[in-house]
Amino acid sequence: MTVTLFPIRLLMAAFMMLLAWPFAFLATVGRSEDSVEPQCFWRRLVDIILKIIMRVMWFAGGFHWISVKGQRALPSEASILTLAPHSSYFDAIPVTMTMSSIVMKAETLIKFIRPVFVSRSDQNSRKMTVEEIKRRAQSGGEWPQIMIFPEGTCTNRSCLITFKPGAFIPGVPVQPVVIRYPNKLDTITWTWQGPGAFKILWLTLCQLHNEFEIEFLPIYTPSEEEKKNPLLFAVNVRRIMAKALGVPITDYSFEDCQLAMAEGQLRLPVDTCLLEFAKLVRRLGLKSKNPEKDLLEYGTRAMKLEGQKQSLEDFAQFLDLPVSDMLRDMFALFDEHEDNRIDVREYVIALSVACRPAKTMDTLKLAFKMFESDNDGAITEAELAVILKTALGVSRLSVSRLFSSIDSKDTGKVTYGNKFFLLVVLSLLMSLYTHIDLAQGSATKKIKCNL
């Protein structure tokens, strides 16, 4: 198939994309960004042509027929379509079928579907995007329907992860839409740890036939309570979609994926409890829009406590939260000795990792500052063990040989100035952790040998 079917399909798909480009450009001529003008005859004709071209492109890719179940709602009935599960760039099929608007990066040039643009470089982009979704959703059907993948990332379709609230903030009726790829051989799924984008394309185009199903579920009208609580609205819609798909739901989210797969020196082990911690942070509303400022404030307050252990009530006061079951669960994550006392510095370290997983050195710098005793930026072996154990979210960790490797002058302390050596140790630590139990001597011997 690689030398016969694949090149023919690839050329046909590329040709269809090129053919669609001038029509897509024509559809944007004279359009206003802030209002919707009446659909004149030639614009409707261009939309029909584009749908035909896109359908031919998918047909060339092996999607010979598309199974559609249910009835798509009118824009006046449901201005937002929520799609799940999101698992591949082939999920664009329903977008081209309906020509609905989608939320996309501002660099993308597909303006003919009237997308809601979002910019990663603009700090206010998320707020502006939500406001634009609300404006269109509450227009009474004047704008095209907005198609949103509330999971926010690609998954392997084995479950539905936590939905982002963006589609549910407007508090208007939504139509849940589920998509399926019932092929016996899965060449569709595109996730972090799977095949790359080109390999997925190659494998899929080599298939004689690719099946695709889309099902429009009944319109979901939110209650007054759901209108006031978008998270509750999202949970209830997700439950209905999961039931239709026959898959479970999980409280993990896109941010948890980012935490687990963060680039940087700190690579989390598979058994880390930091994912559970991150989930509790979100539920308790502790993840702020300005984590740098909050972490600095928490760090300063933790330093003043000078390592004094805090009770659950003290911890609640530290976070300015009432005592609750969720707060007890978070408290238990740090109550290592089960004496109902914790060191809040460990909470600050874990929060730093959860809020900025790729900024390992910033987390270490904050940790050194909180644990230093004589304002010299130096910490002991026991303190280093606490820092690394908390940053990794594991219950036990032996750092004796690691510490001696960093403390070459045998002073009994290491400073943040030793960060070059500390980085080497961290990198080796992360690369070995998932394969070897660090409590065993063989692991630390191997690390010291590498050093």
pLDDT at 431: 47
Q: Is the pLDDT of residue 257 over 70?
A: no
User: pLDDT tens for residues 358-395?
Assistant: 777 788 788 888 887 666 667 777 887 787 777 776 66
Average pLDDT estimate for 140-164: 86
pLDDT at 419: 56
pLDDT at 71: 93
Q: Which residue has the higher pLDDT, 414 or 326?
A: 326
pLDDT at 53: 92
Q: Which residue has the higher pLDDT, 264 or 319?
A: 319
Q: Is the pLDDT of residue 205 over 90?
A: yes
pLDDT at 442: 41
| 3-state SS record for the chain | CCCCHHHHHHHHHHHHHHHHHHHHHHHHCCCCCCCCCCCCHHHHHHHHHHHHHHHHHHHHCCCCCEEEECCCCCCCCCCEEEEECCCCHHHHHHHHHHCCEEEEECCCCCHHHCCEEECCCCCCHHHHHHHHHHHHHCCCCCCCCEEECCCCCCCCCCCECCCCHHHCCCCCCEEEEEEECCCCCCCCCCCCCCCCHHHHHHHHHCCCCCCEEEEECCCECCCHHHHHCHHHHHHHHHHHHHHHHCCCECCCCHHHHHHHCCCCCCCCCCCCCHHHHHHHHHHCCCCCCCHHHHHHHHHHHHHHHCCCCECHHHHHHHHCCCCCHHHHHHHHHHCCCCCCCECHHHHHHHHHHHHCCCCHHHHHHHHHHHHCCCCCCEECHHHHHHHHHHHHCCCCCCCHHHHHHHCCCCCCCEEHHHHHHHHHHHHHHHHHHCCCCCCCHHHHHHHHHHC
Q: Which residue has the higher pLDDT, 298 or 406?
A: 298
Q: Is the pLDDT of residue 96 over 90?
A: no
pLDDT at 357: 72
Average pLDDT estimate for 36-56: 81
pLDDT at 446: 41
Q: Where residue 9 falls among pLDDT bands split at 50, 70, 90?
A: very high
Average pLDDT estimate for 140-154: 83
Domain ranges (residues) in the chain: 5-250, 257-450
Q: Which residue has the higher pLDDT, 102 or 87?
A: 87
Average pLDDT of every residue of the chain: 79
pLDDT at 34: 60
pLDDT at 417: 66
Q: Which span out of 133-147, 218-232, 250-264 was modeled with the highest average pLDDT?
A: 218-232
Least confident range of 32-41, 220-229, 240-249:
32-41
